Each structure stands twice: as C-alpha cells, then as structure tokens.
Amino acid sequence: MTSTTNPRRPVALTGSRLRRSLALMGRGLRAQPWLYTWTIAVSGLAGVLTVEISTRLGRATDEVVVPALTGAPTTSATVWLGVAGLALVAILNAVAVAGRRIGAGMGYARLGAEHRRNLAHRYLELPVAWHRGRPTGRLLAHVSSDAEAATGVFNPLPFALGVALMLVVAAVRLVTVDPWLAAAAFAVLPAVMVVNAVFQRRMSPAVTEAQRLRGDVSDVAHESFSAALLVKSLGTEAREEARFARVADASRAANVQVGRVRAVFDPVIELLPSLGTLLVLGVGVWRASVGDVGAGDVVAAAYLLTLLAIPVRAFGWVLGELPRGLVGHERIAGVLDAPEEIVPGSGALAGSGPLGVRVEGVGLEVVGPDGPLTLLDDVTLDVAPGATVAVVGATGAGKSTLVALLARLSDPSRGTVRLGGTDVRSLAPEALAGAVAYVSQSTFVFEDSVRANVTLMDDDEPGAPSDEEIWDALERAHVADTVRALPDGLDARLGERGSNLSGGQRQRLAIARALVRRPRLLVLDDATSALDPRVERDILLGLGERGGPTVVIVAYRAASIALASSVVHVDAGRVVDVGTHAELLARDDGYARLATAYARETSRRADEAAAAGVEEDR
Amino acid sequence: MSVHEDRSPRAAVTDAAGRIATASSLGVLGTLRAGVRVSPELVTGIRLTLLLAVLAAIGRVVVPVAVQQSIDTGLLAEGGVDAGRVGVLVAAAALVLVLAGTCSALVNVRLVRRTEAGLATLRVKAFRHVHDLSVLSQDSERRGALVSRVTSDVDTISMFVQWGGIMLLVSTMQLTVATVLMAAYSWQLTLLVWACFVPLALVLPRLQRGVNRAFAEVRAAMGGVLGTVSEAVLGAETIRAHAAQARTRRRVDAAVAGHRDAQVRAQVRVASVFSGGMLVSNLVLVAVVVAGSFLGMAGEVSLGRLLAFLFLVQLFTGPVQLATEVLNELQNAVAGWRRVLAVLETPVTVADPPDGEVSPRGPATVELRGVSYAYPDGPTVLDAVDLTLPPRTRVAVVGRTGSGKTTLAKLVARLMDPSTGQILLDGTDLRRLRSASLRARVVLVPQEGFLFDGTLAENIAYGARDLAPGQDVRPLVEDAIVSLGLADWVADRPGGLDAPVGQRGEALSAGERQLVALARAYLAKADLLVLDEATSAVDPATEVRVARAFEQLAAGRSTVTIAHRLSTAEAADLVVVVDAGKVVEVGHHSELVASGGVYARMHEAWIAQTR
C-alpha cells in the first residue's frame, strides 16, 4: 500500500473492472512480498500433496489392495510400505494446509492494519473543515468495515493460487495416465466456474438489497426507540408497531430472496463434483475395458474429484469478494487521496511575550450546496500585543471562522494572517501550536487521565509539563478544586468510562489545557459559555498577570465583553466596526441591538438559575 | 435535559426492578422452546422438511455405492469388464443425485421461508414490547443496545438457523446414512472409523472454545481501535490546536497493531484446529487402507466395498469439522435468542389494564392522594404528596434541580406508577383507566419534541389520533398551524409544510422543534397537558411564537407545566412548590412571594441576579 508520506501517487484504482481487481490483488501481494511468496508456495505444496494423496491411494490400490484381494502374492511388508508413504503425505499435507492458513491470516491482518493506520494518520492530517463535513460513523466505518472489505479477498487468495497450481499438477498427471480420463475429470471445472458466475451475478443485487433493508430496519428501530417518550405520551405504540412491521416484512422478503438463490446454488455446486465422479467412473470403466488404464487409475481420478470439490470453490470465493473489495478500497482511497488543503510551513516564531496579530485583506469562500459561499470578506484587523479583544456578532456572522484562522485551523482564500509579523503559513506546526492556544466552543475530553487531558503528551515525552505546571494551569483555569476532589487527582480517568465532568468543568479543563502551554496568543471561541460570569471574569482577569498572552475571545455575554479592551463587531463576514464597548454602543446600531439581546439572554439565565436553585455554573 | 433529569444519579444505577436483563436465564433447550413459542412459524411443516432432508442425505452416499457397484460388478466382473452395466449404474446414480439435490434445495427453501417468517415475528414482538415497557426500563439501556436486540441479535439467530441449522440437519442425516451403509459393507471398518472420529469430536469443542475466545479478543481489540480512532476524529480540533498528532498517532498505531496481532493469534488457532481435523481424516483414510487390505486378505471385504469405504470416510470429515463451527454458531444463536427473549421477559410494570375503564372527556381534575415514589432500590423522590389540581387551571410546578418536580409530572401523565398512594383523574385511579382513554385525555409534551425524518406536515400530523380510515390529515394540520398563530412561520420557511426536517429535525432550530411539539399536542386534543418547559436558548422571534402558541394551546384546558423559569410560575394560575420530595407550598405567585417561604427565597435570588 502506498504510504501517506507520499501523497503524490493516488491510492484510488483506475481502469476497467478487471484491471482494478487485478491491481487490488497485485498491490496487496506486493505490499507483503516475502509473506506472500512463502504462503503461495506453501499453498501450492498443499495442493500438490492433495493430488499426491489420491495418486498414492490409486497406487496403493494397484500395488497393495488389488493384489491382496485377488490373492496375488503380497506381504504385509508391502502393505506397510505403501501405507507409510501415504501416511507421510497425509501429515505433510496437513502441515502445509496449516501453513497456508496461517500465512493467509497474517497477510489479511497486516494489510488490514496498514489500511487502518493509513486512514487514522490521514484523519490526523486532514484539516478540521474536512472533518466537519463528515459524520463520525462513516469515518469509523472506513476503519472497520471498509478496511475489512478491501482486504477480504486476501483470505481465500493464497488458497486459490495454490489450487491453481494443484490443478495444473493434477491435469498433467491425469493426461499422462489417459487423456480421456483427464478430459472426463476436468469437465466439471468449467461447469463449476459457470455456476459460480451465475450465482455471483444473481446474488450480489439480492444481497445489496437485503443489506439495505436491514439498514432500514435498524434505522426505524433506532428512530422509534429514540422517540419512545413521544410514543408513550401520545399512545402511538400500535402505529409504531405497524411501521416497524412493514420494514421487518420487507427485510424478511429480501432475506428469503437471498436464501432462495443460495438454496438452489448450494445443492448444485455440491452436485457437480459427484456427477463428475460418476462421469470419471463411466469413462474409466470404458477405458479399462479397452485396457488402457488400470483400476487404480480410475480410483485415483474419481477420488481426486471428491478432493477437488472444496478447493475449486476457492476461485468462487475470490470472485465473490472482489466487488466488495473494490468498493471498500474506493472508499478508503477517497480519504487517503483527499487533497492536502493546509501545507505546513517550517519556520519558527521570533521573540517572546504576547504576540501581535495582523489580519490583512482576508477573504474566505467555501463551496456550499448552492454554489460558492462567502464566509469572510476583506477583513483587516490589528490586535496589539497583550490586548484582550472581544469578537462580537450575530450567529453565522463569521466570528468562529475568523478566529480559527489565527490558529491556522484553516487558511483564507485571500489575504494573510500574521503573528508577530510572520505569516502563519510559513510556521512549522509545532511552532504555531507552541505560540497559539485555541479553545473551541465544544470541549473534547479524551478517555485518559486528567494529566494527559491537560498536557496531551505522554509523561516521558520531552517538554512534557511537570505536575507543578499542570496544577498551576488548573488553578488559573479555576478547576484545580474539582480535580483535587476526584479520587485519583491528576491520575483520575476522564471520559465515557471515567469520571464525568459538568459542561462548565469541561470548559475549564480545556482552558487549563491551553494555559499549560504558556501561549503567546490565546483564542477563546465561546469557550466560556457554560461558566458562571464571576468565574469567567476571574479567569480572564487572571490571564493578565505575569505578562499574560494576547487574548482574542468570541463572546455572547455583556460581562465578557466588558472585560475586553476593544470590541470587533463582525457581520456577514465583514468587520463593521472596532472600538470600545461604549463607543460601539453609541455609534453602531447593529451592535446596540446585539447588546440588548445579550442582556435578555443574561436575564433569562438568571431566571432559570434561580428556579433550579443553582449557584455555580451549569 | 429531558423529562428524566430529576432522577438522582443513584437512582439511575440501581433500578434493578425496571432493568431489561442482558440475557434470559433460560438453558439451551429452554431458550429454543421459548423461541419456538414466540415464533411458532419456525416449526410449521417441520415433518415434511425432515423427510426431505433424509431423502437429500441419501444423495450423499450415491457416489460411494456407485463406485462399489461399478468396481465389484463392472470393472472386476467375472469374465472381464462389463462396460454396459457400469453405464446403466452411472446413469441411475446420476438420476438419484439430481433427485436428492432437488430435495436438498427444497429443504433449504423451506427452512429459509419458515425461519425468516418466525424471526420477523420475533423482531416485531420484541419491538412492540420495548414500547410497552415503562420509561424506567426503556432508559435502563442505551438506545443502540435496544436497537441491537431487534436487529443484530435476531440476525445471529437467522444466521444459525439458515446456515448452521441446514448444516446440522444435513450433517446428521449424512452421518447416519453413511454409518448405516458402512456397517452394511464392513462392520469392522465402521468401528475403526468411529473409533477415530469420536475422540476428535470430543476434543474439537474444547479447541473451538479457544478459537471463540481468540475471536472475542479480536472483537475487543477492534473496539479499542475504534475507540482511539474516534478520539482522533471527534477531538480533531483539539488535537490540531495543540499539535497533539504525534501522541494520538502512537496510540492509534498501538491499537491497530494490537488488533492485528490478535487477528493473527486467532488465525493460528483456527489453522491448527482445521488442519488437525484434516490430519485425522487423512490418517483415518490410511488406517482404512491398511485394515481393509488385511481384511481383504482374510476375505472379509471386496475391493469395491473397500474403495466405497474410502469415499464414505470423506462423508465423515466434513460433518465432524463443520459440527464445531455449527456448535459455535448455535452458541451465538442461543446467546442472541436469550438477549431478545430477555426483552420479552421484562415485565410491563405500567400496564394497560385488561378490563380498564373509559374516562369521559371534559375538563380534567387531577388529585394526588398520599403519593410517594422511589426508584427501585433508590431513594424516595416524592414523599406522601397530597394535591388537587382543579380543572381549566394553569399549574406551574417549581422546585430546584432534584426536588422531584419532574417525577411529579411523569406520575400525572402515568409514565410511571406511584410506589404508594394513588392519582385520580376525575375521581378514577389512573391505573384503572384503559391506556387509549388515558392517552386521549392526558398528553405529555417533552422539552424537546422528537422529530422523525420526514416533512414538517408529517411530523405535526403525528399528533392526530382517531382518524377515520382514509381521512385526509392535511386540513387538521393546517387548522393547527392557523389556530396556534404559526401560519407566518410556516409561510416563511422555504418549502413550507412539505419541507423535510432532516434526521431528528436537524433542519429546525430548537425553538422551531418546540413549535412542532406544541402543534402536535394541539392535534392530540387532550383535556390535560403536561408540559416540560424548554430551557435551551431560543432566538427572540421564536420565543415570542412559542409563548403565543402555548397561550392558544392552553386555552380551555388544564395544564401542568414543569417550570424551569420563575417568570413562567409568575404567569400561572397556581404555583406548586416542590422541595426535597414534598409539596411545600401551593398558591398564586403573589401569595407565595408574600408568605416568605421557599418560593419567596427563589424569587429573591432571581431579583438579585437580574439587578
């Protein structure tokens, strides 16, 4: 598989279906050359040994059994000798089969792991904007079911390649014995292929349909159970039952359709080798009557067919897996080949202390469902080092888009963003992350210890903050008391299976995560929404001590805005006005309206807090 | 937050009585019996199916018999090879094979039809039962887990019955018929074959358990992979903002490698078990050749019979190897069946009385007499509440978080039954009322109405009940829209009533979803509305609409609102103050503010904060 470090070569397969199928198999085999060389060799050996068993059985018949039964002179020594050879081959065969299966399993596991690793690494490289457009469920499905589908064909592939060798050996053997017998024995092969092809063609649409309807059953059940309270309060249980029964019945009918195809296919595919054996018997007896072959040859040929019954189907398994494999591979390629939108720079940031920010003529367009959409338009803005600036605007005005540029979570379509005079695009990711801390609206808590959640580093990593530094950050984020109250302190596990924090506590943890890095620019995108106004004020005021960072805050509350040295009013992707709160209130009508709405929101929260008897943040 | 927020954390973990068990405690046979009882379709026509299966199994021994006959009476016939006789034999055998194959196909089709019908029944019954369970039981499981009870758990049963079941049936028949035939050819060799396969059959299940464990590890490792990858995806922004990619990458790599190694370990086990079985059957073949030769020398067996035997041994290998996989499938199927049956075994605690009364329509009076409620094994949430809610009154229930106000509302809507005491609707105990009659009169409107993936009109129409067959619901929906003063809102929306609302109504704002819930409640035409007030922020225009729609909806009805804002209580006819499970104050806002109690203190806090 192509490595993600070389994005030039596309992962997607091109060309006809056959070409893509061959490329899919070829790439996998080339990715594990030694393993597959070995596995295919062992598989071939297993195939040859399978033929050998039937040959030796035939020879034993001629040299041991027939003489023994017909009273020709034979000794138990001959019997034992013939049999010892047979036993040896049987043991070798079993060992070779084990080797083949283990090799195939290892190949499958390694190729799947390669896909999963590449996908996960790619997820980490792709920009946040790419992630926003994609449901988590689908990205996880790429890692689980698509990776499995893309590699599924490698399970039967070594077997099938070994069988191919076995068939060649068997064909040569039989032809040297008697061409007629060989023709009779191999007549069954094309029949098996044709039946398999017909089966695949009928089966795949039926299976697709059944799979789709299975999804419908799951969707209806999920939706209906999610609506359980509504169903109960309106007493619509019978209506929901009828709705579910409809999809359940459609799914039943589709499953029966799949079952019918299989029901016919299975007996037919089992019938073919049996009919082949009878054919060999008929032809064999005719050839024996002519005197061209011995009884042993007939027995060996007939027995070979019963042994071939299963292996020949390996081709069918490979063919059956290929369509699914191509689809799975295509989906994975869609992620791995996604264009690199943010090219990291390599420069460092000079100086120390709070950073000045300069946004120059920045515009940003994205492609929406109804054509291009302008998110930011000709934005120019200056933030002095050490200042605290509030970005204010209605929902959808472009506030978050604007501040995300400062942390280079995305790049503008036009214009530049400079930190301390340096274009962010020229900075190495580590340099940027070391200087700028960005805290978003929603806080993600990792299933890990409090310590790891704050540092986002392993303990032994160079530059990992000490416990004192962590506690200091927790103190400044006003969450140290909460952590102290946890059973294991810094080692307490958080996340789904660990202690759960309230919305306000999570936000404060996220702020500690930013502060522990001692940023030179702190960007808070509505990151204090769940905090009590007093706590918020204390945190923000505390930042200014000890030569704190420049702060850019997206805020909705009059109290937060009051803490800012200046306010930027953003509307429809443009900067409307910049000034102090009082200045804007006096000269900017749009801003005055916003301020009134914020005041109303504040009083509503006070009302709810009083009713809930809550003193602390929610 | 939904209606469930008043449940204290302790109650959430300890509701043993309401919880849906992970699996039924029935044994294997008990599970199968119970399964058949729920889905009787599974065994209809089973006799004919079995008969056909016997006929199909006969087809399996045709080839060995044909080989024996051809060799003994054709190839090695007295006086040279008798090709004509072999021709007849082969043709006859082919005919029997085709007939047996047809029987086999019929068996498969019959099994598939019956099992799919039976399992569809099981699915629907379990689905309905989930809806009939109390909210407590429903909440005891995550939605996803409940969904899997009616989807993947049922699928494991169908996997077994259709694949495993057929295999089990055919294999058993095959073994039986092969043994009978082998015994007819040579009882000594039959004993030899059985002596070899019985130990294998005894050892295989144990080995299979090891394989199962290995695959369980693979599944767990996959869970680990998905866990770390989902962190990488969900935490994408955080990881980028703090340049934590390297650490996340290391974690993902470790999880992926762990999964890969678990897969390889499982494959090694499978390969050993499989090739071990293969080795045994190959060696049996050798043993048969040896023993057969000596028996032949002793004149006990003919060449044809011995060769037929070699083919018959092949009939043993398949079933014995398959049997272990089938047993594995059976275990999965029984486990799945138990999980589904556990749903059906969960008692419906808030049940529809079989001979319930019908409550006459009209203004609703609600009376609580000594009502207490405790979550199973949990603390008491409501304690001896006596309360009368007069008809056509707007009641607001207030109290701090965890006071029991939500429980009170749930009891009035009979989402739960009180532990002691009774709740009367116009003098009749709620538990005596027929469910349909109760739901016609009392409707609960949750904080955020659930929206189905459909159009706005479909979602509003969901509230309409007792429609005549074929009645057009559209005029009713339009009437509701106009009556609640929402016509301008609908007119402003692109696509109007026919615009899709998206999954869970994501195309609508939280406030707009509340409007849909109110319109639904309007169509339900209940006498008593129990409302859980929404707390999420709503834009000013929608807030005004919600308030106006609520006014219209409440006119002429009794309403009980779980108030999360004191301004709501201020506007109500009657305020009920709940504190620590008790009703501490009842009266009008102004009376309560004057009385200087709990409510007055809450009011003070409110005034202080807004100042």
CATH value at residue B27: 1.20.1560.10
CATH of A1-177, one of 2.30.30.40, 1.20.144.10, 1.20.1560.10, 3.40.605.10: 1.20.1560.10
Q: Are A379 and A359 in contact (CB under 8 A)?
A: yes
Same domain, B373 and B440: yes
Q: Are B420 and B371 in contact (CB under 8 A)?
A: yes
Domain ranges of chain A: 1-177, 357-612
Instruction: Give the pLDDT of residue A24.
Output: 92
Same domain, B146 and B241: no
Same domain, B215 and B243: yes
Q: Point out the residue among A65, A436, A447 whose CB comes nearest to the CB of B292.
A: A65
DSSP A35-99: HHHHHHHHHHHHHHHHHHHHHHHHHHIIIIIHHHHHT-S--HHHHHHHHHHHHHHHHHHHHHHHH
Residues 6 or more apart in contact with residue B526 via CB below 8 angstroms: B440, B441, B442, B443, B557
Q: Point out the residue among A240, A248, A266 whose CB comes nearest to the CB of B108.
A: A266
Q: Which chain A residue has the Cα nearest residue B127?
A: A241
Burial class of residue B54, CB neighbours in 10 A (0-12, 13-18, 19+):
middle
Burial class of residue B1, CB neighbours in 10 A (0-12, 13-18, 19+):
middle
* B331 has a chain A CB within 8 A of its CB: no
- Per-residue pLDDT band at B529 (split at 50, 70, 90): very high
Instruction: Give the pLDDT of residue A243.
Output: 92
Contact B124 A97 (CB under 8 A): no
- The residue of A63, A69, A125 whose CB has the most chain B CBs within 10 angstroms, and thus the best one to mutate to test that interface, is A69
Same domain, B135 and B27: yes
**Residue B424 in domain:** yes
pLDDT of B332 higher than 90: no
Q: Which chain A residue has the Cα nearest residue B1?
A: A618
**Residue B357 in domain:** no
- Per-residue pLDDT band at A614 (split at 50, 70, 90): low
Same domain, B57 and B177: yes
Instruction: Give the pLDDT of residue A75.
Output: 67
pLDDT of A496 higher than 60: no
Q: Point out the residue among A102, A226, A244 whose CB comes nearest to the CB of B271.
A: A102
Enter the tokens of residue B53. 């299966």
**Shortest distance, CA B104 to any CA of chain A (angstroms):** 6
**Residue B162 in domain:** yes
| Contact residues on chain B for A235, CB-CB shorter than 8 A | 435-436, 438-440, 465
Count of structural domains within chain B: 3
Same domain, B472 and B462: yes
Enter the tokens of residue B164. 């495993």
Bridge-based pairing of strands A550-554 and A566-571 is: unpaired
Contact A252 B446 (CB under 8 A): no
pLDDT of A6 higher than 60: no
Q: Tell me the backbone φ, ψ of residue A362, rounded to 5 degrees.
A: -85, 130
* pLDDT tens track for A551-568: 999 877 777 787 888 999
Same domain, B405 and B335: no
**Shortest distance, CA A350 to any CA of chain B (angstroms):** 19
**Residue B14 in domain:** no
pLDDT of A277 higher than 60: yes
pLDDT of A597 higher than 80: no
**Residue B305 in domain:** no
**Shortest distance, CA B490 to any CA of chain A (angstroms):** 22
Q: Rounded to the nearest 10 degrees, how much is the dihedral formed by the CA atoms of A89, A95, A100, A103?
A: -150
What is the average pLDDT across B441-451? 84
Would you tell me which residues 546-575 of chain B have a C-beta closer than 8 angstroms to some C-beta of chain A?
A: 563-567, 569
Give the number of A-B residue pairs with CB atoms closer than 8 Å. Answer: 440
Instruction: Give the pLDDT of residue A547.
Output: 72
Q: Point out the residue among A289, A303, A517 whose CB comes nearest to the CB of B81.
A: A289
Q: In B151-186, which residue ranges form alpha helices assigned H by DSSP?
A: 152-159, 165-185
Contact A68 B413 (CB under 8 A): no
- Sign of the CA dihedral running B194, B196, B202, B204: negative
What does the mean pLDDT of chain B come to? 83
Contact B540 A76 (CB under 8 A): no
Q: Point out the residue among A438, A457, A611 whose CB comes nearest to the CB of B563.
A: A611
Instruction: Give the pLDDT of residue B184.
Output: 86
- Per-residue pLDDT band at B262 (split at 50, 70, 90): very high
Bridge partners of A406? Answer: none
Lowest mean pLDDT among A115-129, A460-474, B200-214: B200-214
Same domain, B454 and B584: yes
A 10 A CB-CB count for B362 gives 10
**Residue B431 in domain:** yes
Is the model more confident about A4 or about A597? A597
**Shortest distance, CA A135 to any CA of chain B (angstroms):** 10
- Taking domain A357-612, whether its CATH number is 3.40.605.10 is answered by no
Same domain, B259 and B131: no
Q: Which chain B residue has the Cα nearest residue A155?
A: B267
Would you tell me which residues 265-284 of chain B have a C-beta closer than 8 angstroms to some C-beta of chain A?
A: 266-268, 270-272, 274-276, 278-279, 282-283
Q: b/e for B486-520, b at 16 or more Cβ within 10 A?
A: beebbeebeeebeeebeebbebbbbbbbbbbbbbb
Q: Which chain B residue has the Cα nearest residue A593?
A: B540
**Residue B309 in domain:** no
Same domain, B342 and B397: no
Domain containing residue B586: 366-610
Same domain, B109 and B197: no
Q: Which chain B residue has the Cα nearest residue A445?
A: B235
- At B477, is the secondary structure helix, strand, or coil? helix
- At A287, is the secondary structure helix, strand, or coil? helix
Same domain, B420 and B521: yes
**Residue B196 in domain:** yes
* B75 has a chain A CB within 8 A of its CB: yes
